[in-house]
Chains A and B, each alone.
Chain A
Amino acid sequence: MQGLHDVLQPAGPAAAHIATLWWLTLAICAAVFIAILVAFLIALVRAPRADAATPPDLAPLGSAEPRTRLVVSIAVACSIVGLLLLLAGSIAADRALARMPEDDALHIQVTGHQWWWDVIYDDPQPSRRFQTANEIHIPVGRPVLLSLQSGDVIHSFWVPNLAGKKDLIPGHILTLRLQADKAGTYRGQCAEFCGLQHAFMGFEVIAESPQAFAAWSDAQREPAHAPSDPGTTRGHDLFLTGTCMMCHAIAGTPAGARAGPDLTHVASRKWLAAGAVPNDPEHLAAWIRDPGQFKPGAQMPPHAVPKDELDALVAYLETLR
């Protein structure tokens, strides 16, 4: 799966604050490490060699070794100073994170499920809310407030390029602030172990220009169009009379179950199965037929469907853009 995922290439203020702190911390730690290592190596080189017959040096028993004590005390004092610097840096970065602007923030509810992400774009006007899954579009330069909750076990929302992680905990609603300053596709993944397919619980955050975002969200608000040709109509019927609608929802049809990801605009997404499978007709068909080959243990059951039915179903799903 493509897309950046790197802590040290921040694409937004939250990650940037942390990256700055990272470089500061790394510099201090590297200096400390080198100092200790050099002292240690000098000690090893300069100390004379001994063997089992060498009598022990008991002089230290009688003396407090004031010079050594002084040197060690200075070293300890230096470490305390270094630690205080780190503490100050850490608290400053934490403050900066806490002060990130929230005005005009975009509100998004993310619910973690085994093993996919349910995404609801909030809006004061209920009719303007919409639901999608595993792909989060955000406008560049606008703060985003994510409210994170869990539908089952604990998950953790992590997009390294944009912000630190935050857990999704049953019984709690946590918020995460982030913002993208650069357009791009940023990969995220569940960071808290959540069972069989923890490894493939990915998602993408796509930061785009406000215009592109507006266009995208308008498209997402539209319900699915009724199929127009016989092939896709058959797929539509199969979807609604078979097993699909037991778990999935497509706005504009009777399918409204929420056990699996919302499929209203499934064909507009880049990935299937929370980042595990590229979204093209062949992979979609393969996924429907046997999800276990991609994500063993996934909740979606296999379907030994005749080829013509599978093709019709895929053809229909491909219309959901």
Chain B
Amino acid sequence: MRALLVLIGLAVALGGCDREERKLAKLPSAAPSPATGERRGDLQPGQKGSGLEQTTSSRSFDGKNAFELAQGKRLFRWYNCSGCHSMGGGGMGPALMDNRWIYGHEPDDIYRTIMEGRPNGMPSFRGRIPDAQVWQIVGYIRSISGLAPKAAAPGRNDGLAVTRPENERERATPRNAPGSG
């Protein structure tokens, strides 16, 4: 019985450590400048920025850490993503709660969508949002349709309940479906 408990403990340990550690924002040792003067055109939809290849390699997030998902949710609100995507239900922008992914559901796809922008309204946030935060937002966006571990996904907000909390969402098997958006 005890051995079993120890085993359960160890199993939880392996999952637990990573999932709950709070990696507080640190200055990246040799990170590219997020606020370079390269970027031009203020929040123009669909403008492709430069330097995409290097940024995907500086990925700092595996989408399973509860603290980073919660930070992503906070930033989603602060940066007014909900202005177009509502709380994930969609509005001016496409819904994020369903399983339809116009530009792909892989973290790299979502990262690219945020950084580059997409036609028909999605602006580019390159240089607007630091890389590490973009990854937090990516993780959070995936949690909206249940693609993050439930034990790490955020709970309800202290706000008006519009949708079910992320940690109750069932995983919606993603379908990459290019569409009108």
Contact = CB atoms under 8 A, between A and B. Distances in A.
Interface of A: 170, 196, 238, 241-244, 246-247, 257, 259, 289-293, 296-299, 301-306, 309
A304 B24 contact: no
A309 B24 contact: no
A39 B132 CA distance: 67
Interface stretch (B85-93, B123-131, B173-181): B123-131
The binding surface of chain B is classed by DSSP as loop
Interface residues of B, number: 26
A172 B51 CA distance: 47
Contact of B34 (A196, A247, A298, A303): A303
Contact of A243 (B31, B34, B74): B34
Interface string B28-52: 1011111101011010000000000
Contact of B132 (A259, A297, A298, A301): A301
B35 A301 contact: no
B158 interface: yes
B39 to A, nearest CB: 7
A-B pairs with lowest CB-CB distance, top 10:
A242-B35, A290-B27, A302-B27, A259-B78, A301-B130, A297-B24, A304-B31, A296-B24, A305-B33, A301-B25
A288 to B, nearest CB: 10
A305 B36 CA distance: 8
A241 B127 contact: yes
Contacts of A301: 25, 130, 132-133
Q: Which has the most chain B C-beta neighbours within 10 Å: A170, A243, A244, A305?
A: A243
B22 interface: yes
B32 A302 contact: no
7 contacts: A241-B39, A243-B129, A244-B35, A246-B78, A290-B27, A302-B25, A303-B34
Contacts of A305: 33-35
B34 A246 contact: no
Nearest to B77: A259
B13 to A, nearest CB: 24
A12 to B, nearest CB: 34
A235 to B, nearest CB: 11
B24 A246 contact: no
Contact of B128 (A246, A296, A302): A246
B128 A309 contact: no
Nearest to B30: A304
A292 B25 contact: yes
B117 to A, nearest CB: 15
A259 to B, nearest CB: 4
Question: Which of B30, B35, B130 lies at the interface centre, i.e. has the most chain A CB atoms within 10 A of its CB?
Answer: B35
Contact of A304 (B27, B39, B40): B27
A238 B24 CA distance: 25
Contact of B130 (A241, A289, A303): A303
Contacts of B2: none
